[in-house]
Chains A and B, each alone.
Chain A
Amino acid sequence: MGSRLPPPIISGMVVPLEGQSETPSDADLMRRVGNGDMNALAALVRRHQDRVRRTAYRLLGNWDAADDIAQETFLRLYKNASRYSPIAAFPTWLHRIVVNLCLDLLKRRKARQLGTTDWPDEPASSDPLVRQEQVDAVRRELAQLPDRQRVAIVLHRFEGLEHREIASITGWSESAVESLLVRAYARLRERLKLWAEE
């Protein structure tokens, strides 16, 4: 039998290959991407794009930059799909690409003497009790953290990842991650004391 044609996209859904479950796993999709299946790539983008964009936004503070990073992340994923090994959890692998791209961008921005993060226009929480001023202060303090501390905080607090996972994503040792988190939380606690007391 000749080579199998890629499954068609129907209403934004990827039709699973014969013998596969209804919802293909990330690893299945990655294997198909590695064989040049663009439908599988589209499915992965749709499945993970919001999370990737959010992570990049929290590290960069700008949605346009975050979208560029997210796009580049999926292109890297496509380029390296044939080398993907399901030993590493897919989200870990994806996060590793996003974080590395963001750190590279932050480094380049710093080299050009530009501000590292923008945090421009994200509206405050819908909770009327939460004041815009307070949210702005938290954002500002988060943006002013050294890059590595901010990466550790974003992955721990916002992505809900454990020390071990953060170490795996960043390539830093677990004790380095712990040290970064201790310093970052201590600094935030100190700087946000005024708001925390209210």
Chain B
Amino acid sequence: MKACVPDNVLIRLAGNELSAAEREAVMRHLDECATCRGAWEEMRSTWDLLGQITATPPARDLTGPVLAGAAAGQARRGRWAWAARVAAVIALAGGLGIMAGLLKPPRTRWASTSPTVSDEQVVAALGLDALDDADLLAGLFETEETPIQEQPS
């Protein structure tokens, strides 16, 4: 048979969460209702069984490790804060540089400042066109065929 006092009320009764008036009303009902009394006894047995689990912490003081960890964290944060400041300064300088570049009057970038020179002008300047001059070529051969004048002894 189902108990008329719901489980959640019995749990609150065990945990001492009911007001004095609520507690009194439930206890009065338990006196009169065997089913609910049975449910309450089961609840109490479970409650008591759980109470047998002890948890005595082994002797250990965490103060030292916690303080050491906190100090290490503080130092780490300090280093990061310093690095962040340096990064911020670099970023600011870079930003200012970019801004300065953007504000300057536009000019042709990467263009050569020297006048344009054609291939012909380069060939002429080097004298390479002379190779095509037949007379000059002939002159060169003539030079080779010129008899060698004997020097008077």
Contacts and interface: CB of A to CB of B under 8 A. Distances in A.
Interface in B47-70: 47, 49-58, 60-63, 65-67, 69-70
Interface residues of B, number: 33
Interface in A59-106: 63, 66-67, 70-71, 74-75, 78-79
Contacts of A27: none
Interface string B15-26: 101000000000
A138 B50 contact: yes
B11 A138 contact: no
Q: Is the interface of A mostly helix, strand, loop or mixed?
A: helix
A122 B42 contact: no
B73 A75 contact: yes
B8 A142 contact: no
Nearest to A50: B57
A182 B55 contact: no
B62 A196 contact: no
B70 A38 contact: yes
Count class of interface residues, chain A: 35 or more
Nearest to A64: B58
Given A142-B53, A185-B11, A196 B73 contact: no
A138 B54 CA distance: 11
Interface in A152-188: 153, 156-158, 160, 162-163, 178, 181-182, 185-186, 188
Interface stretch (A16-24, A40-48, A110-118): A40-48
Given A67-B62, A75-B66, A135 B53 contact: yes
A148 B123 CA distance: 91
A142 B50 contact: yes
B47 A157 contact: yes
Given A189-B43, A196-B46, A38 B67 contact: yes
B45 interface: yes
Contact of B55 (A58, A163, A186, A196): A58
Given A38-B70, A57-B55, A138-B50, A178 B8 contact: yes
Given A78-B66, A78-B70, A138-B50, 17 more contacts: A41-B66, A41-B67, A54-B55, A58-B53, A67-B60, A70-B62, A79-B73, A156-B11, A156-B15, A157-B50, A157-B51, A162-B17, A163-B12, A163-B17, A178-B8, A196-B46, A197-B45
The 3 lowest CB-CB distance pairs between A and B, nearest first, are A196-B45, A74-B66, A53-B57
21 contacts: A42-B63, A46-B61, A53-B60, A53-B62, A54-B55, A57-B55, A66-B57, A70-B62, A71-B65, A75-B66, A75-B70, A78-B73, A122-B55, A125-B52, A130-B52, A153-B50, A158-B50, A182-B11, A192-B45, A192-B49, A193-B42
